[in-house]
């Protein structure tokens, strides 16, 4: 019998029993103690070690599962098709984003200081986010505005015209207009997004 373990368990039982209404405390303590002792008495030292090893294994699996749920993402059809067309791997996207409780976070982000480029890169990344969460590679211009304000790429004077520059105007099937509807990525936008993903993940 492992007396050190029993002492520790009895302390925990005391805390649990103290948390129930007065009239039930003694009975609660007695039941929990009997349960503890019946399990411990029947255990050999080898069995106790085996149980501890199992608990450690369970914790390891739990931690790995939690980590997997945070990093690995099940991609919807539009994203899978985009990945095949543009030679983007699952590992590329797993290295770029993290899904935690249905909230998608970018692990790696544009880090240069060019507002126009940053605005359009975040529009592409927002389309990727919507593709993963909503199976639609689209970006809403006002969502882009809010995002680039947070990320330090907002150019209020040129926000609208930055989408229409020659380098970026073909990224979406229709121009992103302030207060306008969400727009889907075009062929050039898909290519630019794939290039951006590979650049960010190295």
Taking each helix axis from N to C end, the angle separating 77-86 and 187-201, rounded to the nearest 10 degrees, works out to 80
Q: Are 1 and 10 in contact (CB under 8 A)?
A: no
Please state, in angstroms and rounded to a whole number, the distance separating the CA atoms of residues 78 and 129.
12
Which letter does DSSP use for residue 112 in this model? S
Boundaries of every domain in the chain: 3-71, 77-201
Q: In this predicted model, which residue has the larger pLDDT, 52 or 144?
A: 144
Please state, in angstroms and rounded to a whole number, the distance separating the CA atoms of residues 172 and 168.
8
The pLDDT tens digits for 98-131 are: 988 888 999 999 999 999 999 999 999 999 999 9
Please state, in angstroms and rounded to a whole number, the distance separating the CA atoms of residues 125 and 147.
10
Whether this prediction's pTM lies above 0.75 is answered by no
Please state, in angstroms and rounded to a whole number, the distance separating the CA atoms of residues 120 and 106.
16
């Amino acid at each position: 019998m492992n007396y050190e373990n029993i002492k520790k368990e009895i302390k925990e039982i005391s805390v649990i029993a103290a948390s129930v209404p007065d009239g039930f405390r003694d009975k609660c303590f007695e039941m929990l103690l009997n349960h503890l002792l019946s399990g411990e008495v029947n255990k050999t030292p080898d069995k106790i070690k085996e149980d501890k090893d199992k608990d450690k294994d369970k914790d390891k699996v739990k931690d790995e599962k939690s980590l997997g749920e945070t990093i690995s993402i099940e991609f919807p059809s539009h994203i899978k098709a985009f990945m095949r067309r543009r030679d983007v791997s699952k590992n590329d996207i797993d290295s770029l984003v993290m899904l935690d409780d249905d909230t998608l976070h970018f692990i790696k982000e544009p880090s240069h200081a060019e507002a126009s480029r940053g605005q359009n890169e975040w529009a592409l990344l927002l389309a990727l986010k919507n593709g993963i969460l909503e199976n639609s590679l689209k970006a809403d211009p006002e969502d882009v505005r809010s995002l680039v304000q947070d990320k330090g790429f907002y150019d209020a004077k040129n926000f609208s015209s930055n989408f229409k520059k020659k380098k970026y105007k073909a990224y979406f099937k229709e121009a992103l207009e302030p207060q306008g509807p969400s727009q889907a990525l075009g062929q050039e936008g898909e290519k630019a997004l794939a290039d951006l993903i590979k650049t960010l993940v190295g």
